[in-house]
Amino acid sequence: MAPPEALSGDGAFTVRRHQPELVSPAKPTPRELKPLSDIDDQDGLRFQIPFMHFYSHKASMKGKDPAQVIKKALSEALVFYYPFAGRLREGDGRKLMVDCNGEGVMFTEADADISLHQFGDTLQPPFPYFDELLYNVPGSQGVLNCPLLIIQVTRLQCGGFILAYRLNHTMSDGPGIVQFLNAVVEIAGGAREPSVAPVWRRELLSARDPPQITCTHREYEQIPSNYDPIWTQESIAHHSFFFGPKELEAIRQMFSSYNNGQYTTRFEALTAFLWRCRTKALQLEPSQEVRFMCISNVRGKSNPPVLPLGYYGNGFVYPAAVTTAGKLCENPFGYALELVKKAKAEATVEYMQSVADFMVTKGRPCFVMPGTWIVSDTSRLGFRGVDFGWGKAVYGGPATAGAGPFPGASYYAACENAKGEEGIVVPFYLPLSAMKRFIHELDRVLGQLEQLTSFSDSLASLS
């Protein structure tokens, strides 16, 4: 192995990074071409999505090196998940397939002279020193002919460590990557094989022959690509907002008079609340069309299930609710709630099959970006529960707002604040002026509910 290379992190600390290396399966694996599903290889998933897990020092693990523990278990887990060690190729009709060549995933180990507490009382995106904690290995950024996983383990001065990684999103969704990480965890703990056997079966979500588009897919409507009223030349702010149990219940109760006797989940209430506040902060023209897309997984939504236990491909769709900025902002909050519920309800197995047929028929297009806010709730997927022996992660989940090159997205992640309260953290990318108005709008509405969290202190960090 090459000697460590010193890197500075804004002068605040130093990272000593070893030469990146490829970690291959510990045993020979099949050499084959495995097509992705027609849900996997749509244009909107052709990017690498970053995640981070922060772990505290644990006295009982003294003398054990997390980088070596994870690297060894990773190599053994890749025997079962060998497609991750391959490379994507593109065939006719933009069809993606994995060349299972065993080349390996990219792995970097590093040491940083910084302690976990120096990252702040509440760990949430955006994370400081992100570029030092997940090294962008030259030539690794692409979708085709590049590693499908890029991993860095950084040991901290306090005895804790950070696991950061980028996943080629065409390979897996949130449940899929958590399943893979738990396989690494089990093998690190001494298991010979994962307790949940991985299932490829991507043909289950491939287009029918002939394709039959049976649903309306407004998430893929074609609108002028040069028209986007949200993302301007103004500087962009990246900020996260923590909602604890008190805030989440108060927001849900705020919608109780709008639910028409139906139960409203905390996700539905929080999402409707934030979508309306976000749209008001953007100050769009009243006639401007806006979209909300709800990432909805179809796992467990049919009997028998369409996706078997162990399936680790992408198993979600994102139906769109469409309205105008004027209608969304001028109507009561119940209007936004109705649209959120409607979008969620559209995510059926038939809808997913129709999306697969749509992809093949229309050339695998990207979703609509102008005027769009996409939400993915990862808070219940178990990212924080990934335990390599050092305990539950202090934070585990997506590392940023935005979906790769698409800034109009938010990932809900499970989080614990400085008071020890368990809640949800929601990151946003917004133009700076809109972010300031967004904070004011959150405080205005929450202030009318009860004495809840104020986000006004966030304004100082944006100036």
Q: Which residues are catalytic?
A: 169, 387
- Produce one character per residue of 263-281: b if its CB has 16 or more CB atoms within 10 Å, e if not: ebebbbbbbbbbbbbbbbb
Q: How far is CA 459 from the centre of its chain?
A: 26
Question: How many alpha carbons lie under 13 Å from residue 289 in its C-beta half-sphere?
Answer: 14
Tell me which residue has tokens 């198993």: 315
Q: ∠ CA 155-425-186 to the nearest 5 degrees? A: 45
Distance separating alpha carbons of residues 339 and 369, to the nearest angstrom: 18
271-275, long-range: CB < 8 A, 24+ apart: 271/340, 271/375, 272/333, 272/336, 272/337, 272/339, 272/340, 273/333, 273/336, 273/445, 274/410, 274/426, 275/328, 275/336, 275/340, 275/373
Q: How far apart are the first and last CA of the chain?
A: 44
Let me know: does 144 contact 164? Beta carbons within 8 Å: no
Per-state percent for the chain, helix, strand, coil, to nearest 5: 30, 25, 45
Q: ∠ CA 401-52-196 to the nearest 5 degrees? A: 110
Let me know: does 333 contact 253? Beta carbons within 8 Å: no
* 50 cis-preceded (ω within 30 degrees of 0): no
User: Counting beta carbons within 10 angstroms of the beta carbon of residue 244, is it exposed (0 to 12), middle (13 to 18) or buried (19 or more)?
Assistant: middle
